[in-house]
């Protein structure tokens, strides 16, 4: 399945590169050693950087959360704006803004398809917070539960390019149904 994953990353190259950049930036901010900082390659690390597992729960959570958050923050505006402009307002291709909406939609999907942490990082975060030997505060457990589940689910979806598939279906619905 790695080939599917790598293809999905190259199809969404802007989001994949940017996600890896944010990961590198936040590794730097959080003081997490980086082992491999190449953004695009043909392995399952494509679109991510390889870093050490963190020692603290907070860092583990933040390194899963923050890079994706940055992509989502940028991506939502582009995705919503582009989608509405093209499929709801039905802007004509003769208008300049059509191409802007098209670019926004592509970059938006590209960013939203790359907002999950690496699957191993997501599992590690889960283990740090909810592992048998971990003594995590109950309030922290409650607060971090939904994001932690989201990390695993979204990472799994990205691993098998399901998120890209979902957005492609949404685009087809926009073209033929809305």
Partner 1 sequence: MSDENKEKIIPETPEDEKEKVEGDWKWDAAVPETKTDDITLDDLAPIMDKEEAPAEEEKAQEEPAEEAEEAPAEEEKKEEKNETEEKAEKKADGQCVICGNSTKNSPNDLYCEDCARKFLRTHFGIPQVVLAFVMVFFAAFSWFVCVSTVDFSAQLMKVESLISEKRYTDAIGAVEKLSTDVATVDQGFNATLATFNKNQNVVDFFVDGERSMRILLDAYVDSLPFSQEQIAQFVNIVSVEVDKDKLETRKYEKIKKMYDYCVEVNSYSNEIGPTWYTFMYTDEKTSEQKIKYDEAIAFLETCPNDTPAQKSLNGYYRYIAAYFAEKDKEVVFEIFDNLLEDLGEYSYLFDFIYLQVAWTYEDYDRVEVIADRLYEANINATDAYYYSIKANILQGDFTKADERCERMFKDNPEAIDYYAVKAEILRRMGKYQESIDICKKGVAVEQDASIYNQQAISCMLLDDKAGALDAAKTAYEIITVSTQGQASYEILNTIALIGKLCDDEETYENVKALFEAGQEPTELDEKVKKCIEGEITFEEIFMEGYGDI
Nearest to 65 by CA among 5, 155, 175: 155
Q: Does 54 bind partner 1 (CB under 8 A)?
A: no
What is the rounded distance in angstroms from the CA atom of residue 43 to the CA atom of residue 23? Answer: 17
Q: Does 28 bind partner 1 (CB under 8 A)?
A: yes
Closer residue to partner 1 in complex, CB, 103/143: 103
Closer residue to partner 1 in complex, CB, 18/161: 18
User: Cβ of residue 115: shortest distance to partner 1, in angstroms?
Assistant: 14
What is the rounded distance in angstroms from the CA atom of residue 148 to the CA atom of residue 156? Answer: 12
Contact status, residue 116 vs residue 154, Cβ threshold 8 Å: yes
User: Cβ of residue 49: shortest distance to partner 1, in angstroms?
Assistant: 8
Query: What distances in angstroms separate CA 161 from CA 22, 81, 88, 154, 167, one per listed residue?
Result: 20, 23, 26, 10, 10
Residue 69 in tokens? 């958050």
- Residues 67-126 binding partner 1 (CB under 8 A) are 73-74, 76-78, 80-82, 84-85, 88-92, 95-97, 100-101, 104, 107-108
Q: Does 175 bind partner 1 (CB under 8 A)?
A: no
In eight-state DSSP terms, residue 116 is: S
| Cα-based angle 96, 74, 40 (whole degrees, multiple of 5) | 100
Q: Does 14 bind partner 1 (CB under 8 A)?
A: yes
Q: Does 6 bind partner 1 (CB under 8 A)?
A: no
Q: Does 169 bind partner 1 (CB under 8 A)?
A: no
Helices (H) and strands (E) in the chain, counts: 7, 2
Q: Does 27 bind partner 1 (CB under 8 A)?
A: yes
One residue of 55, 137, 140, 143 binding partner 1 per CB under 8 A = 55
What is the rounded distance in angstroms from the CA atom of residue 41 to the CA atom of residue 39? Answer: 7
Q: Which residues bind partner 1 (CB under 8 A)?
A: 14, 17-18, 21, 24-25, 27-28, 31-37, 39, 55, 73-74, 76-78, 80-82, 84-85, 88-92, 95-97, 100-101, 104, 107-108
């Amino acid at each position: 399945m790695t080939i599917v994953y790598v293809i999905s990353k190259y199809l969404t190259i802007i989001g994949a590169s940017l996600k890896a950049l944010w990961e590198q930036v936040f590794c730097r901010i959080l003081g997490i050693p980086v082992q491999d900082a190449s953004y695009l390659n043909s392995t399952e690390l494509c679109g991510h950087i390889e870093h050490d597992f963190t020692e603290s729960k907070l860092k583990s959570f933040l390194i899963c959360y923050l890079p994706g958050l940055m992509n989502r923050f940028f991506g939502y505006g582009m995705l919503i704006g582009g989608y509405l402009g093209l499929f709801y307002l039905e802007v004509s291709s003769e208008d300049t803004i059509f191409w802007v909406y098209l670019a926004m939609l592509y970059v938006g999907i590209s960013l939203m398809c790359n907002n999950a942490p690496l699957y191993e990082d997501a599992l590690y975060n889960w283990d740090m917070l909810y592992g048998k030997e971990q003594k995590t505060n109950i309030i922290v457990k409650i607060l971090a539960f939904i994001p932690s589940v989201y990390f695993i689910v979204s990472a799994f979806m990205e691993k098998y390019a399901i998120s890209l598939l979902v957005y492609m279906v949404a685009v087809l619905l926009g073209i033929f149904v809305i």
